[in-house]
């Protein structure tokens, strides 16, 4: 018989009583709530009505629970024997339950043919019991084995703490980077910025426009015009020799010179490569365009200026010339170079390296604007200068190998209206000249022994000191001996009595020496200095010679004869012209000068310093001397014409003096002689003084000096529209009064 079931609601076959389906045969382990509860988690249900007291009841007394049979796990539909555990075969369903009196219910599983038992823990409703291997049930009296709870895994770090730590580290990193950037941008900026700056800098000079040289009417004698300069960057030139061969025909510079300029090198005292070098200055704009059309690497052009002399040789010996760098080399260009040149500017900027040698936008850039030079306004009249040069060239051409000088001074201002030299040169092309001496200004560098033109100084001093008067006469011998030297007259008087105008007309050496002896050497020496001899005039020309006077304590016996007639005296044509201008200016010496005013770049005019003046003769004595000197250009008696008759200007009264002297070069007397004539007109009220000097190795200068004076003075008077002396004729002079 099948075992009796403990569940009163089930029969021996395991079916529940009162069920319509209880009579149907059932497959073991299926159907019914009990079967469903047998598969609830941990194989148990909620106890009903048990309470704490029931939980304290021994397991053997819990069979009275009406739901207990339903919690029993049936094995194949058969009730297990109390206190025993039946083995479950491999085919038994996992999860079947078996019970034992007073024992603990459990589930026996077969896993890999090994029985495993899951204990039930009535006291622990939440935690699942650990699985146990299937083994024989211990006796009921055996104490319960403690259930081990699974070990908790080690507690991991708090993610929020890790997040906070990472945030702090990131902020600290960015803060340190920010501080460093601020430090670099504020504290170390100059050091880092300047560290590599020299390697990126390009410097371009901005030339200052040079001031012009103008004549008294504002017409340019020399001025600057726009041009181009050609420069090279040696660091970018690919083949300097090939480049030089292309540029040489256009610039007129030898290939070797251009190639040397384009050679790579560094700035003196540094490791910085040279990136700028001039190849040519003052290049015409058309030529510069041809160079740019070649598109040569490292070659470029920039705005420049070129000195232009419109008149070519007009006043060339006065003006001088400049170098390609616009530096004055000779003449007024050299004397006033600091005024004319101005102050050059400079542009310094950052450029890219390599082939990108272009200004860096926003990079370092500094520009110093050039300051244009001032202009010089001269006292020279370009029209008068032109005619003076033309006349001098024509007259000197008559004497082979001659050198000529001419000066025209305005009375009473002392302004030099014309100053010519022969030979001359083209100031626009100064290298094409026969001799460097041709570039000299003869009026200030031509040192001569003035000869008889010095006699006007001797007679003027004698008048002023009362040694003679305009009416003085005395016998004049043909010769006179002083210091063993015999001095003769070219127009012998044969012991006849001569007047002072007659002595001037025939240039008597003997009569002049006798007057000088009465004057005395000390007073004569003093008047030489008053008339401006022995010192440079300060006209404005560079290299002006000072001349030389023989001090009285150095006079030899012959000096008493040579000094009064203009020998043993060194002077320049300009000094002698200034002495005669003193006579023309009523006895007042006025320093001759060339510069009238300076005109700044802003148009501001600054007059030149006032010339030095001093009184030498009284106006009456100066007028008397001028009248006596008119005999030189008017006397034409039975004893022959006066020495200066060829210098007479028709329609005007002219007072002057001829001279024949010697030339000295480097302190040595040169062969030949110097012929000269200095005069003033109109003699009654002189307006202009003209001095002409002609030296020739073979002589004959005197034959052309007087005619040259006549032409120059005549043009000057007509040019300035001076009325002729028609109603005021020259007096009649008696050379040998009875």
Q: How far apart are CA 577 and CA 257, in angstroms?
A: 48
**Residue 452 annotated among the catalytic residues of the structure:** yes
Give me the residue label for tokens 């009196």: 101
Cα dist from 486 to 207, 459, 500, 517, whole Å: 64, 21, 22, 16
Active-site residue (options: 402, 452, 499, 725): 452
| Angle, alpha carbons 291-296-302 (nearest 5°) | 50
Q: What residues are paired with 448 via a beta bridge?
A: 571, 663
Length of the chain: 738
Question: Are 592 and 414 spatial neighbours (Cβ–Cβ below 8 Å)?
Answer: yes
Residue 299 has which token pair? 């070659």
Residue 319 has which token pair? 């003006």
Cα dist from 471 to 237, 330, 501, 511, whole Å: 86, 50, 9, 14
- Residue 538 neighbours by CB under 8 Å, 6+ apart: 544, 591, 593, 612
Number of C-beta neighbours around residue 146 at 10 A: 6
Give me the residue label for tokens 């075992």: 3
- Name the residue among 419, 456, 424, 388 with its Cα closest to residue 574: 419
Question: Are 497 and 736 spatial neighbours (Cβ–Cβ below 8 Å)?
Answer: yes
- Residue 447 neighbours by CB under 8 Å, 6+ apart: 545, 547, 570, 571, 572, 663, 664, 665
- Residue 311 neighbours by CB under 8 Å, 6+ apart: 221, 382, 386
Give me the residue label for tokens 């997040």: 163
- Name the residue among 541, 534, 506 with its Cα closest to residue 407: 541
Q: Would you name the residues annotated as active-site residues?
A: 452
């Amino acid at each position: 018989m099948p075992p009796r079931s403990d569940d009163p609601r089930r029969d021996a076959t395991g079916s529940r009583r009162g069920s319509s389906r209880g009579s149907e045969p059932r497959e073991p382990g299926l159907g019914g709530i009990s079967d469903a509860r047998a598969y609830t988690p941990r194989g148990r249900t909620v106890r009903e009505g048990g309470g704490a007291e029931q939980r304290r009841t021994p397991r053997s007394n819990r069979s009275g629970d009406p739901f207990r049979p339903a919690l029993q796990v049936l094995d194949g539909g058969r009730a297990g024997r109390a206190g025993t555990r039946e083995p479950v075969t491999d085919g038994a369903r996992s999860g079947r339950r078996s019970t034992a009196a007073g024992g603990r219910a459990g589930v026996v599983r077969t896993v890999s043919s090994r029985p495993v038992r899951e204990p039930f823990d009535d006291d622990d409703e939440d935690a699942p019991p650990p699985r146990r291997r299937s083994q024989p049930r211990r006796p009921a009296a055996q104490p319960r084995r403690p259930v081990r709870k699974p070990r908790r895994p080690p507690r991991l770090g708090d993610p929020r703490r890790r997040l906070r730590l990472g945030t702090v580290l990131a902020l600290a990193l960015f803060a340190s980077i920010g501080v460093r950037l601020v430090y670099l941008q504020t504290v170390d900026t100059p050091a880092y910025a300047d560290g590599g700056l020299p390697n990126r800098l390009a410097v371009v000079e901005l030339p200052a426009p040079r001031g012009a040289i103008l004549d008294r009417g504002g017409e340019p004698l020399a001025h600057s015009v726009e041009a181009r300069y050609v420069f090279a960057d040696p660091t970018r030139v690919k083949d300097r020799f090939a480049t030089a061969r292309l540029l040489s025909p256009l610039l007129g510079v030898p290939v070797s010179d251009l190639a040397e300029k384009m050679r790579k090198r560094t700035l003196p005292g540094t490791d910085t490569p040279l990136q700028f070098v001039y190849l040519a200055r003052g290049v015409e704009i058309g030529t510069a365009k041809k160079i740019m059309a070649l598109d040569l690497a490292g070659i470029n052009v920039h705005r420049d200026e070129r000195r232009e002399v419109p008149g070519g040789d007009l006043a060339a010996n006065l003006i001088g010339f400049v170098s390609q760098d616009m530096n004055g080399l000779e003449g007024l260009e050299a004397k006033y170079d600091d005024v004319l040149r101005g102050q050059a500017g400079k542009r310094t900027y950052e450029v890219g390296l390599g082939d990108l040698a272009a200004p860096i936008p926003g990079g370092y850039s500094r520009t110093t604007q050039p300051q244009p030079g001032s202009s010089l306004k001269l006292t020279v009249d370009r029209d008068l200068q032109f005619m003076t040069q033309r006349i001098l060239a024509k007259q000197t051409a008559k004497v082979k190998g001659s050198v000529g000088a001419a000066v025209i001074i305005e009375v009473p201002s002392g302004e030099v209206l014309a100053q010519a030299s022969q030979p001359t040169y083209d100031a626009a092309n100064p290298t094409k000249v026969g001799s460097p001496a041709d570039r000299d200004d003869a009026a200030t560098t031509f040192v001569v022994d003035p000869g008889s033109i010095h006699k006007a100084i001797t007679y003027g001093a004698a008048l002023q000191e009362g040694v003679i008067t305009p009416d003085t006469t005395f016998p004049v011998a043909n010769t006179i001996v002083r210091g063993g030297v015999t001095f003769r007259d070219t127009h012998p008087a044969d012991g006849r009595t001569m007047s002072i105008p007659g002595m001037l007309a025939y240039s008597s050496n003997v009569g002049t020496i006798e007057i000088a002896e009465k004057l005395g050497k000390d007073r004569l020496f003093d008047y030489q200095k008053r008339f401006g001899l022995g010192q440079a005039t300060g006209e404005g020309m560079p290299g002006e010679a000072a001349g030389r006077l023989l001090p009285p304590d150095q006079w030899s016996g012959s000096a008493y004869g040579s000094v009064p007639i203009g020998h043993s005296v060194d002077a320049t044509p300009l000094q002698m012209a200034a002495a005669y201008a003193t006579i023309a200016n009523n006895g007042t010496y006025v320093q001759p000068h060339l510069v009238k005013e300076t005109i700044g770049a802003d148009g501001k005019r600054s007059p030149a310093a006032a010339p030095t003046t001093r009184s030498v003769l009284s106006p009456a004595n100066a007028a008397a001397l001028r009248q006596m000197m008119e005999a030189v250009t008017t006397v034409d008696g039975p004893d022959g014409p006066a020495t200066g008759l060829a210098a007479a200007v028709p329609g005007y009264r002219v007072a002057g003096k001829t001279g024949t002297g010697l030339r000295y070069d480097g302190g040595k007397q040169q062969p030949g002689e110097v012929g000269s004539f200095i005069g003033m007109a109109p003699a009654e009220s002189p307006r202009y003084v003209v001095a002409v000097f002609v030296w020739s190795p073979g002589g004959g200068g005197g034959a052309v000096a007087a005619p040259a004076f006549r032409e120059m003075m005549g043009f000057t008077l007509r040019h300035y529209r001076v009325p002729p002396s028609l109603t005021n004729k020259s007096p009649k002079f008696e050379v040998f009064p009875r």
